[in-house]
Chains A and B, each alone.
Chain A
Amino acid sequence: MSSEKKLYTVSIYSENNIGLLNRISAIFQRRHINIESLNISPSEIEGVSKFIFVVNMTEDNVKKIIGQIEKQVEVIKAYYHDLDEIIYQISGLFKIKSELLFEEPQIQNIIKESYARIVTVNKDFFVLEKSGRKEEVVALYDKLSAFGIMQYTRSGLISVTKEEMKISTLLETYNN
């Protein structure tokens, strides 16, 4: 079972230091692993950053990667989860010609049905934002691409776990 590849998130709590991203991504690179998505943000603890990588790997290998990431001096803790163990979202932005809104009436239905949000409209273009699971954002892309999309960007996956992550306690034990 664990020799089967699937999508995992690798969540890393770390110091917020220059060069750490390079150090961590090099660990994936060494094992020839492509990074499907990456998000870096502050975490629930002040001064502690959180990386969320999405990778397609076997569980055996993701465990080894976690060990090699955790041994980096500035990494506090790393975890891996499959998608069933987390609550996750991504976000997509679509820039579309404004004239299409009037010329192609289906577009208005697509927007409504997909619960996408119009961020801005001007006479040249409008911008749609859609958050949700990756499949939902991709489905919206598939529907809209038939009409022509001027620009499309998808964010990295962000997630929280269903289980508790005891980072603060861990930091305290390190400090004592």
Chain B
Amino acid sequence: MATQTITNKETSTKVTETISGSEAIVRCLIEEGTEIIYGYPGGAIMPVYDELFKYQDKIHHVLSRHEQGATHSAQGYARISGKVGVAIATSGPGATNLITGIADAQIDSTPMVCITGQVFSHLLGSDAFQETDIVGISTPVTKWNCQVTKAEDIPAVMAKAFFIARSGRPGPVLVDVTKDAQLEKLDFSYEKCTKVRSYNPIPKTDIASLEAAAKLINSAQKPLIVWGQGVILSQAEEVFKAVIEKSGIPAAWTILGASAVPTSHPLNVGMVGMHGNYAPNKLTNECDVLIAIGMRFDDRVTGTLSTYAKQAKVIHFEIDPAEIDKNVKTDVAVLGDAKASLELLLPLLNENTHSDWCQKFTDLYAIEYDKVIKHDLYPSTEGIRMAEVLKEINIQSKGNAAIVTDVGQHQMIACRYAEFNKTKSNITSGGLGTMGFGLPAAIGAKMAAPEREVVSISGDGGYQMTIQELGTIFQQKAAVKVVVLNNDFLGMVRQWQELFFDRRYASTEMINPNFVAIAEGYYIKAKKVTKREELADAVAEMMASKEAYFLEVCVEKEGNVFPMIPTGASVSDIRLE
């Protein structure tokens, strides 16, 4: 051993040892508690893979079938566990294939560390084989990124990467390591990062604004809460429930906030946004105080801003100061971590029931039930509707499954009709709307939480964007339940073509392969359902399976998702048909 020094920091009394940069990367991952990583090897990252081979009893590497799949799996892992997901790839195309997942994690605030190999540092900028400027390319879609060209920098950069990815508003971080930095030796010791001087992850909660918020809430006659993923990310579910129960305020969720409060909770009034529930959308424009918690007023939530909740005083609980007044002007902004802020808010709130106001939600739900829900769940038409599949999954899972969706009609239907009893049960691509997210994300979710039932639900379009990850399911023996709701269309685009483009179905019809044969090609048990009377048994069989299972359900070809707020319309102009 070349050197043996003892650092004198109290937190780290470890003896340093001389190891390679690539071994240091793996040791850093172990130090950060990483047990599973997702990736794909290649030239510029081979030294790290060589170390992963040696450390395979400590870190399980999952070979995806495409680097995009690796990022979505890492995201699924992070979303269900709250831990940092890790994806690893080689330089050039390996690195660029990560970008979709990184962008998805950025907009959905998912903690993820991506490690990419890079060409030798003396070749940087020379158009070397498989060289790409991944730091430049990933800059706009990462929370932070960094290129390492010296082995000695690896421990500090990795520690910083994990700290930044998981702290404050979480997000993706990319560390690009040149091959010479992987091969070089360094004196390794690891110290976790706890602060970065230019970075303030959790802004201080201002007590005066908290008191102002409490005063507004207590004097409100028709308050409405809209919560987002911030409640889940800060693990505020319990105190959030206490807040709504004490104040008696009806609470609606954004797509990423789903499952933080059980679906059956009487104050859970459903989803807001384009395909959300009728009552919370309609009454957004009637409430007197709108309390936004850990959400960011996405345009799919607000509809046109000029008519969004104009009558209401707006209170915004938010960890990211850049979100305040970005889309909706707030009257009171409470910066800070949602859990910490809500714990301070709870004792300041008056007990209330708002029974007349809550009754309005019940009345509007009855209208939605009559016009939409009844026909979705108990249709009189011949074709199977997507919601019927969710109904059967709810029955079999008793609302305890984690539902992982892709993007499109099936996603909206799943969010509308899935029953959620447990938090972190709705894993979906909300902000970026990434088709192909679902299947690989479900693999990550199942591996992070093997005790949970994980059901991947996709449409026939998105499923085929990452269908190769069936190979990962097979190789890893990941017991994911894979459901494809097949309407032989890119359904959501077709719906828009029907409604806004005079039914000109440009490139939305899909001539599909034999999905059952493909699943069986990967040795996954598979079944196809075309008739309603087969559905309940098929879902029961799938859910009872101890192994992975593929279920294709042929649904109504031209079914539409309602309610719907057309683009450019106000939330209160939500259409039921």
Contacts and interface: CB of A to CB of B under 8 A. Distances in A.
Contact of A76 (B135, B145, B198): B198
Contact of A73 (B135, B198, B320, B325): B198
A64 B145 CA distance: 23
Given A19-B139, A174-B200, A67 B147 contact: no
A122 interface: no
Given A22-B136, A26-B139, A63 B325 contact: yes
Interface in A57-71: 63-64, 67-68, 70-71
A146 interface: no
B140 interface: yes
A104 to B, nearest CB: 47
Task: Bin chain A's interface residue count.
Answer: 20 to 34
Interface string A134-176: 0000000000000000000000000000000000000100110
B455 interface: no
Contacts of A171: 197
B212 to A, nearest CB: 21
Interface string A69-82: 01101111000000
Interface in A1-32: 14-15, 18-19, 22-23, 26, 30
B198 A67 contact: no
Given A63-B325, A67-B326, A73-B164, A23 B198 contact: no
A14 B197 CA distance: 10
Contacts of B321: 67, 70-71
Scoring A15, A19, A75 by chain B CB atoms within 10 A of each residue's CB, the highest score goes to A19
A174 B140 CA distance: 25
Nearest to A76: B198
B198 A174 contact: yes
Nearest to B329: A60
A73 B199 contact: yes
B179 interface: no
A33 to B, nearest CB: 14
Nearest to B196: A73
A70 B322 CA distance: 8
Contacts of A67: 321-324, 326
B195 interface: yes
A98 to B, nearest CB: 40
A71 B320 CA distance: 8
Nearest to A172: B197
B197 A19 contact: no
Nearest to A176: B195
Contacts of A26: 139-140
A30 B135 contact: no
Contact of B143 (A14, A70, A73): A73
Contact of B135 (A19, A71, A74, A175): A19
A76 B200 CA distance: 9
A74 B320 CA distance: 15
Contacts of B195: 174-175
B144 interface: yes
Given A23-B139, A67-B324, A174 B145 contact: no
Interface in B136-156: 136, 139-140, 143-147
B140 A30 contact: yes
Contacts of B147: 18-19
A75 to B, nearest CB: 6
A27 to B, nearest CB: 8
Scoring A15, A73, A75, A174 by chain B CB atoms within 10 A of each residue's CB, the highest score goes to A73
B139 A22 contact: yes
A19 B147 CA distance: 10
A39 to B, nearest CB: 20
25 contacts: A14-B198, A15-B198, A19-B135, A19-B139, A19-B146, A22-B136, A23-B140, A26-B140, A63-B325, A64-B326, A67-B323, A67-B324, A68-B322, A71-B320, A71-B322, A74-B199, A75-B198, A76-B197, A76-B198, A174-B195, A174-B198, A174-B199, A174-B200, A175-B195, A175-B197
Given A15-B197, A64-B325, 14 more contacts: A19-B135, A22-B136, A67-B322, A67-B326, A68-B322, A71-B169, A71-B320, A71-B321, A71-B322, A73-B144, A75-B198, A76-B198, A174-B199, A175-B195
7 smallest beta-carbon distances between A and B, as pairs: A67-B322, A76-B198, A26-B140, A73-B144, A73-B199, A71-B322, A68-B322
